[in-house]
Structure 1
Amino acid sequence: MTSNLYDEDYNLWSDQQIAALKNRDVDALDWDNLASDLDYPKYWIDHQLVMVISSLLELYGDFNTEDFEKYHWKTFVDTNRLMLNGVLEDWPHYSDKIKSAIPRAYLSAVNLIERHCKTKGFEFNFPDTCPFSFEQILEDGWYPV
């Protein structure tokens, strides 16, 4: 069952899907949109990790000469950390998914920062693997500077 309700009133659609699951009413399930929604956290988590790690790399490489820029990147790290930690509070079972996504997110973050460095005239050799542990990535107030 594919529904326009998914696009028109997501909250109502969600409530109906939860009820259908609880009642084991397979005919009432919107299979396509359910599958898409269940897959979404993986991509969202990957995005948040890239944002945190790339911001940590900005600080790690000390490319920011002005205090304002350092403050900006720390604020950016804190914001994205808050979101990731919120996911773990609500869904602690995502911990392993986040840990396994770090190497891929690190490569994406390095790619972003290398492009950023070139525009600012900086050169920096990043480590082959993420220099930040899972705990450091999520630890409130931790920065590599």
Structure 2
Amino acid sequence: METKTQNLKEIYEQDFYLWVMENLRLLKNKEYDLVDWENLLEEIEDMARRELRSLINLMAVIMEHLYKWEHFRETKCMGSKWKKSIISARTDIVKLFKDAPSLKAKAQEKEILQRAWEDAVLNLTAWFKWNEKLALRYFGTFPKKEDFPKECPYSFEQIMEYEPWLEG
């Protein structure tokens, strides 16, 4: 299917798959002047953001469950799902690093750790809304983000290796 640049912009809004395939064809044929560069560059940038967002989400889950284990675990049986979630998220991170090794260095940046921690805090405050008795016991009310450490309490190494269930 032959397409002009102006038509590609319309196709982008109507049929994403067709838009991708047509731009791919144009690139393979080295018809660079016909490529929808504006949308293509935006999509490439979005792909990178999605990979990073996935990493941050996984790290947030780990931090949330580590924090729950350390501060809100009341019985020996409490936390088995947290442990499973931590192990699963770590496995997913290892797989992500296999596909995108440069993300490993990014994951260790203070800013990324902090973003993941802020997401973990949001998850923690939401969790307490479902666990009113625990919220009342530990905070006297439903906690707010200010009730948790402002700075990320975990290093990248702890996110990937710390196993509090093995301690005493």
Q: Please report the TM-score for the alignment, with normalisation by the length of structure 1.
A: 0.71
Tell me the equivalent position of 2:57. 47
Tell me if structure 2 keeps the 8 A contact 1:60–1:144: yes
Contact persistence 2:69–2:79 (CA under 8 A): yes
Matched, 1:135 2:157: yes
* Counterpart Cα distance in 1 of 2:148 and 2:25: 45
Distance (whole Å) between structure 1 residues aligned to residue 86 and residue 65 of structure 2: 6
**1:84 and 2:104 are equivalent in the alignment:** no
Larger Rg: 2
- 2:94 is matched by which residue type in structure 1? N
Aligned residues: 139
Q: Which amino acid in the other structure matches residue 123 of structure 1?
A: Y
Gapped regions of structure 2 (runs ≥ 5): 1-7, 140-146
Which of 48, 52, 67 aligns to 1:57? It is 67
Relative distance call for 1:34 and 1:128 in structure 2 (3 A) is closer
Q: Does structure 1 residue 70 correspond to structure 2 residue 70? A: no
Do 1:50 and 1:105's aligned partners in 2 also have CA atoms closer than 8 Å?
Answer: yes
TM-score of the superposed pair, with normalisation by structure 2: 0.63
Change (3 A) 1:84 1:18: farther
- Percent identity (aligned): 18
Higher RCO structure (Cα 8 Å, ≥6 apart):
1
